[in-house]
Amino acid sequence: MLLEIPEIFTPQQAAEMKAALLQAEWVDGRVTAGHQSAQAKQNRQLPENSPVARECGERILKALPQSGLFMSAALPQRVFPPLFNRYEGGEHFHNHVDNAIRRLPTGGQIRTDLSCTLFLSEPDEYEGGELLIDDTYGAHKVKLPAGSLVLYPSTSLHRVTPVTGGSRICSFFWLQSLVRDDGQRTLLFDLDMSINRLRQELGDHEAIVAQTGVYHNLLRRWSEP
């Protein structure tokens, strides 16, 4: 499932983070690329140990659990510390699939079930730079307002088209979900959204209590804590 999640940050908060990030020292983006994607990648990134990157990363990690939509859709178990990239002057990232396993800077590793891109530049601040994500229904073009995030299965082939004007700053990261299978996770998300709507319309109806039980029993069956 590909899902756009609006307003993880307000436009003002996103602009503050972007301004702080622009002051930092950027390096060649191939530092985090695997062998195959290193050939495809042309952009800049902040080093993982950059103090500004870590500070902004912490802000993102604190903001994510505030979004009910994010928590319901991702069911996160472990989130990789957010990274930051920058595309300018024709830079791009050709088609690739993200690495399946990522080493955490703190030790240990995560399986990448979901990939996230959080936009920090406004769409009118750059030309091109669309994130194109393939799924069974074709390619989806994503270019979101600053502060909004897209969540998509890490199994997806994706690319960033050349940024032909301006500057595109984003955060990107991966997470391991409690529910590994995208189909199962999508069913749980749909059920949760439908229960929420019913609760708003009907209040604490007995049938909703039963449905909530079904949700939790499926989660118990499918989750791998």
Where along the sequence are the contacts to Ni ion (CB under 5 A)? 98
Phi, psi of 4, rounded to the nearest 5 degrees: -95, 130
d(CA 222, CA 113): 14
Q: Specify the residue, 98 or 130, whose C-beta has the smaller distance to Ni ion.
A: 98
- Residue 85 tokens read as 């990239």
Of 98 and 113, the one with the shorter C-beta distance to Ni ion is 98
Smallest gap, in angstroms, from Cβ of residue 138 to Ni ion? 18
Q: How far is the CB of 11 from Ni ion (least distance, A)?
A: 25
Measured from the CB atom, the residue of 57 and 153 that comes closer to Ni ion is: 153
- Runs of H (alpha helix) within 23-89: 35-40, 51-63, 68-74
Nearest residue (beta carbon) to Ni ion: 98
Q: CA angle, corner 18, sides to 106 and 123, nearest 5? A: 120
> How many whole angstroms separate alpha carbon 185 and alpha carbon 13?
30
User: In this complex, which beta carbon is closest to Ni ion, that of residue 80 or of residue 192?
Assistant: 80
The residue count for the chain:
225
DSSP alpha helices (H): ranges in the chain? 11-22, 35-40, 51-63, 68-74, 182-202, 206-222
Q: How far is the CB of 160 from Ni ion (least distance, A)?
A: 8
As measured in angstroms, the least distance from the Cβ of 59 to Ni ion is 22
Q: Are 198 and 141 in contact (CB under 8 A)?
A: no
Shortest Å distance, C-beta 96 to Ni ion:
6
Comparing CB distances to Ni ion, the nearer of 53 and 133 is: 133
